[in-house]
């Protein structure tokens, strides 16, 4: 069964817009885990626009208590600054089960592309090694059509398929929206890499994606799930996603 990791960044966005503690990121994560989610994802950014370093450490402890995966996303090349100790330093403190390296900059509203592995493999390799020395599984953000032999050469364990273009094509009614992702997933698996997926997946497009793309190990879903939860409730929405995942196996 494909596993569901719920990204709770948007809870922190709401909290930070007002100050204080509400809505509480830990309480939201507990609600997701109590509803059956398999893990929690966050993507702390150096500008501290949502998840903060203290959230990361608290969520690391919470996921250990529940015995589930904590997936920490971030750019390994972003330098430290006040409130953000740097990605490797944060991972050394939190010891997440999985890290997902993403090539995002401060000016990006959200992650919108994968690595160019032919260009970046050499500079990624020492970061991957350092994170694996911390005991973390390492996943690399990858677009459809990425060069997976170069990705595997970094020493990473998995890729995470950037599914934003798939979601846009799906909602535009474009046939064959999964084909490029299916081929990339197959190439990743031949190269010895596991396959995760995330970005703009939702209840309407998830089942089609999983039916078309082979052996996806994990999906990370946040923006859509939190938006849907405004109408249906957080626990109910998590259970809806789990039912979709269960139906594919």
Whose CA is closest to 35, among 170, 249, 221, 234? Answer: 234
Which is it for the CA torsion 178, 8, 110, 226, positive or negative? positive
Our answer to whether residue 199 is catalytic in this structure is yes
* Catalytic-labelled residue, pool 38, 50, 127, 199: 199
Backbone angles phi, psi at 196, to 5 degrees: -110, 175
Question: Is 38 designated active site?
Answer: no
**How far is 181 from 148, CA to CA, in rounded Å?**
12
**135-173 exposure pattern, b = at least 16 Cβ within 10 A, e = fewer:** ebbbbbbbbbebbbebbbbbbbbbbbbbbbbbbebbeee
Backbone angles phi, psi at 114, to 5 degrees: -95, 180
The two tokens of residue 224 are 């859509």
SS3 state of residue 138: strand
Using the structure block, give the residue that is written with the tokens 């990370």. 220
43 carries an active-site annotation: yes
From the list 201, 102, 172, 189, the residue with the least C-alpha distance to 143 is: 102
Contacts of 248 (CB under 8 A, 6+ apart): 1, 2, 207, 210, 211
Determine which one of 73, 160, 218, 228 is catalytic: 73
| 91, two tokens | 């991972």
**Catalytic residue set:** 43, 73, 199
């Amino acid at each position: 069964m494909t596993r569901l990791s719920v990204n709770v960044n948007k809870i922190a966005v709401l909290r930070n817009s007002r100050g204080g503690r509400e809505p509480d990121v830990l309480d939201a994560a507990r609600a997701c885990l109590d509803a059956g989610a398999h893990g929690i994802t966050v993507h702390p950014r150096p500008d501290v626009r949502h998840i903060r370093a203290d959230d990361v450490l608290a969520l690391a402890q919470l996921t250990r208590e529940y015995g589930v995966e904590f997936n920490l996303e971030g750019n390994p090349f972003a330098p430290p600054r006040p409130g953000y100790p740097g990605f490797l330093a944060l991972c050394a403190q939190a010891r997440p089960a999985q890290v997902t390296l993403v090539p995002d900059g401060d000016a990006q509203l959200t992650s919108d592309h994968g690595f160019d592995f032919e260009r970046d493999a050499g500079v990624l390799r020492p970061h991957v090694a350092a994170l694996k020395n911390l005991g973390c599984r390492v996943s690399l953000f990858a677009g459809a059509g990425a060069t997976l032999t170069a990705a595997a050469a970094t020493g990473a364990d998995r890729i995470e398929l950037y599914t934003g273009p798939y979601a846009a094509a799906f909602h535009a009614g474009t046939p064959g929206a999964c084909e490029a992702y299916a081929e990339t997933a197959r190439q990743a698996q031949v190269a010895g890499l596991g396959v995760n997926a995330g970005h703009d997946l939702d209840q309407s497009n998830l089942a089609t994606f999983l039916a078309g793309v082979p052996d996806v190990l994990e999906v990370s879903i946040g923006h859509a799930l939190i938006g849907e939860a405004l109408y249906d409730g957080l626990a109910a929405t998590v259970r809806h996603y789990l039912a979709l995942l269960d139906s594919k196996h």
